[in-house]
Amino acid sequence: TELEIEQHRQIQAAAKAVLSQLASLITAEDSEKSIADKAHRLLQDQGYPDTWYYACPALVLLGSRSCVSISGRDYQPREE
Protein backbone atom coordinates (compact mmCIF):
# COMPACT_ATOMS: atom_id res chain seq x y z
CA THR A 1 0.00 0.00 0.00
CA GLU A 2 1.02 3.63 -0.26
CA LEU A 3 1.32 3.84 3.54
CA GLU A 4 3.70 0.87 3.65
CA ILE A 5 5.79 2.33 0.84
CA GLU A 6 6.05 5.64 2.71
CA GLN A 7 7.04 3.85 5.92
CA HIS A 8 9.77 1.97 4.06
CA ARG A 9 11.02 5.24 2.59
CA GLN A 10 11.20 6.79 6.06
CA ILE A 11 13.19 3.85 7.40
CA GLN A 12 15.53 3.92 4.41
CA ALA A 13 16.06 7.67 4.88
CA ALA A 14 16.95 7.08 8.54
CA ALA A 15 19.42 4.34 7.57
CA LYS A 16 21.03 6.61 4.96
CA ALA A 17 21.31 9.40 7.53
CA VAL A 18 23.07 7.01 9.91
CA LEU A 19 25.55 6.00 7.22
CA SER A 20 26.24 9.64 6.49
CA GLN A 21 26.80 10.42 10.17
CA LEU A 22 29.02 7.37 10.68
CA ALA A 23 31.52 8.62 8.12
CA SER A 24 32.57 11.45 10.44
CA LEU A 25 32.53 9.30 13.60
CA ILE A 26 34.79 6.42 12.56
CA THR A 27 38.42 6.60 13.64
CA ALA A 28 41.48 4.41 13.13
CA GLU A 29 40.92 3.03 16.64
CA ASP A 30 37.44 1.71 15.87
CA SER A 31 36.65 -1.99 15.61
CA GLU A 32 33.76 -3.83 14.00
CA LYS A 33 32.06 -3.83 17.38
CA SER A 34 32.55 -0.13 18.11
CA ILE A 35 31.30 0.88 14.64
CA ALA A 36 28.30 -1.45 14.93
CA ASP A 37 27.55 0.01 18.37
CA LYS A 38 27.76 3.57 17.01
CA ALA A 39 25.42 2.68 14.16
CA HIS A 40 22.97 1.06 16.57
CA ARG A 41 22.95 4.14 18.81
CA LEU A 42 22.39 6.42 15.83
CA LEU A 43 19.49 4.25 14.65
CA GLN A 44 18.01 4.39 18.14
CA ASP A 45 18.36 8.19 18.10
CA GLN A 46 16.37 8.18 14.84
CA GLY A 47 13.62 6.21 16.58
CA TYR A 48 14.52 2.72 15.36
CA PRO A 49 15.66 0.63 18.36
CA ASP A 50 14.86 -2.72 16.71
CA THR A 51 15.79 -4.42 13.46
CA TRP A 52 14.17 -7.01 11.24
CA TYR A 53 17.48 -8.61 10.25
CA TYR A 54 18.36 -11.19 12.91
CA ALA A 55 18.72 -8.49 15.60
CA CYS A 56 21.66 -7.16 13.58
CA PRO A 57 21.32 -3.38 13.24
CA ALA A 58 24.72 -2.99 11.57
CA LEU A 59 26.82 -5.62 9.84
CA VAL A 60 30.40 -4.31 9.84
CA LEU A 61 33.29 -6.32 8.42
CA LEU A 62 36.86 -5.02 8.72
CA GLY A 63 40.42 -6.18 8.23
CA SER A 64 40.71 -9.90 7.61
CA ARG A 65 36.93 -10.16 7.29
CA SER A 66 36.49 -7.31 4.79
CA CYS A 67 35.86 -9.72 1.89
CA VAL A 68 33.80 -12.25 3.84
CA SER A 69 30.14 -12.88 3.11
CA ILE A 70 28.20 -13.66 6.27
CA SER A 71 24.55 -13.84 7.26
CA GLY A 72 23.22 -11.57 9.97
CA ARG A 73 22.03 -14.74 11.66
CA ASP A 74 25.66 -15.78 12.21
CA TYR A 75 27.25 -12.34 12.55
CA GLN A 76 29.06 -11.31 15.71
CA PRO A 77 31.06 -8.08 15.54
CA ARG A 78 34.69 -8.50 16.53
CA GLU A 79 37.21 -6.24 18.18
CA GLU A 80 39.33 -6.35 15.02
| Structure confidence by residue, pLDDT tens digits, 20-63 | 999 999 999 999 999 999 999 999 999 999 887 888 888 999 99
* DSSP letter string, 31-48: -HHHHHHHHHHHHHHTT-
pTM metric for this prediction: 0.86
